[in-house]
Amino acid sequence: MAVKRETLDETAVNEFGEGFRGEVINPAEVGYDDAREIWNAMIDREPALIARCAGTADVIAAVDFARENDLLVSVKGTGHNIAGNAVCDDGLMIDLSLLKSVHVDPAAQTARVEPGVVLNELDHETQAFGLATPVGYNSTTGIAGLTLGGGFGWLSRKYGMTVDNLRSADIVTADGKLCHANEDEHADLFWGIRGGGGNFGIVTSFEFDLHEVGPEVLSGLVAHPLEDAPDVLRAYREAAAAASDDVAVWFVLRHAPPLPVLPEEWHGEKVLVLAAFYAGGMAAGEEELAPFREIGDPIVDVVSPHQYAGWQQAFDALLPEGSRNYWKSHNFVEITDGMIETFVEYTESMPTALGEIAVAHLGGAINDVPVEATAYPHRDAEFLMNLHTRWEDPEMDEECIAWAHECHDAMAPHATGGVYVNFVPEDVGEERAAYRENYDRLAELKNEYDPENLFSMNQNIEPTV
């Protein structure tokens, strides 16, 4: 797929645009630079054309145009992916960000969601009925990329991964056909999109199961000085091992951000923060979160009732668009003493105040699902570490990326060898670690649904035919 913008047939482009309900934007037009911009400022690519789709018919037309003109394809939901796969050089960027519909059926407790929706928009609609589905922890994340890679958040220990709550999907495949996939129709494709990323087509609609959640939940932060981190984390792992599936307590090591809940004199100082969440009732939550809140002598404890939708947005200010980002991740089955020492060591050497070492509390219902049930394979992980390396100055690129690699390498002896596909920062390189035991079956699906590898801008599963 090596067609360049200067050789793209002008007549074909004009015909494509005339039959398009959305917008077809070329590099000379006003709005092109805004349309190609994505969340990670490290990524700066220039597609030959941008197709901003207004509906499924536009998606089909864009896929057909790309295939017929031998164009590299990138697919943008909301452009939040760390690797920047939403935008390509010289090819066709298929932009789904205008597809914003959310339809909630409160009686059936389901939601039909289009791929341009971000998490706070989904929560806004579902929480009107006291319902939710497990999604991520940064509410500006797009539902499409999150789901296709697996998806986890505060509700996952109780209700599973996002993909475990997917009932069906409509998918435009590489041949320009629309497939409805669920456990009974195109069941193989339905299996593959639940963790196999964007390798098999473009999802134009997701149908999710919803659960009764909120609107108020018990949640909040408990912050400790970094010097207390070894003792706190040793106590934390004991509390986490005994916790019910309603409990999710994550931890973060970083410079204290200027959040109003943290004392001003601690802003900029290195801290360990426990982020606590309870998915059930308030009284039970007070009892079940107590073992975490009783650890050590915290700087502050602000665990209290919060609106679920507000808690979902609580950390958005720490991950705004426009910064430079490089992430590395690991899965773990336990928190060891050696890991705790390494967490503290690399927090001390963290290159900027914008970065953090974040560890999600997984397990529970996530790991009740067999590895072979969905393409998402990491059903052994109890914890997931994400090195959020963030900075503003391009001259710091080498230093920040080196820190992330060094910390990642230091943690590797404690890890499972698997990585969460949505946290892989490069275009290629960790496919086997991302898909693990399910890789070969995914390759068979790729041969069937995309043998020419039209959808290659992802953690790519190359066809073998």
Query: According to the model, what pLDDT value does residue 2 have?
Result: 44
Residue 58: what are its φ and ψ, rounded to 5°?
A: -65, -40
Q: Quick check: helix, strand or coil at residue 253?
A: strand
Q: What was the pLDDT predicted at 430?
A: 86
CA angle 344, 349, 355 (to 5 degrees): 90
Rounded average pLDDT per 10-residue block, the chain, 465 residues: 61 90 94 95 96 98 96 95 94 97 98 98 98 95 97 98 98 98 98 97 98 96 98 98 98 94 93 97 96 97 96 91 94 97 97 97 98 97 96 96 97 96 84 94 97 96 92
Q: What is the mean pLDDT of the chain?
A: 95
C-alpha distances out from residue 35 to 17, 27, 48, Å = 16, 10, 12
So what's the pLDDT on residue 7?
Answer: 67
Q: What is the pLDDT of residue 317?
A: 87
* pLDDT tens track for 321-353: 889 999 999 999 999 999 999 999 999 999 999
Peptide bond before 215: cis, by omega within 30 degrees of 0? Answer: yes
* DSSP code for 110: E
Summarised one tens digit per residue, pLDDT across range 61-117 is: 999 999 999 999 999 999 999 999 999 999 999 999 999 999 999 999 999 999 999
Are 69 and 77 in contact, with CB atoms under 8 Å apart? no
Domain boundary assignment for the chain: 5-95, 102-212+437-449, 216-423
What's the CATH fold of domain 5-95?
3.30.43
Please give the structure tokens belonging to residue 243: 């916790």
Q: pTM of the entire structure?
A: 0.94
- What CATH number was assigned to the domain covering residues 102-212+437-449? 3.30.465.10
Query: Which among 215, 235, 205, 369 has a CA at the least distance from the CA of 297?
Result: 235
Within 13 A of 347's CA, how many CA atoms are on the CB side?
Answer: 29
- SS3 per residue for 195-234: CCCCCCCEEEEEEEECEECCCEEEEEEEEEEHHHHHHHHH
- What CATH number should be reported for the domain whose range is 216-423? 3.40.462.20
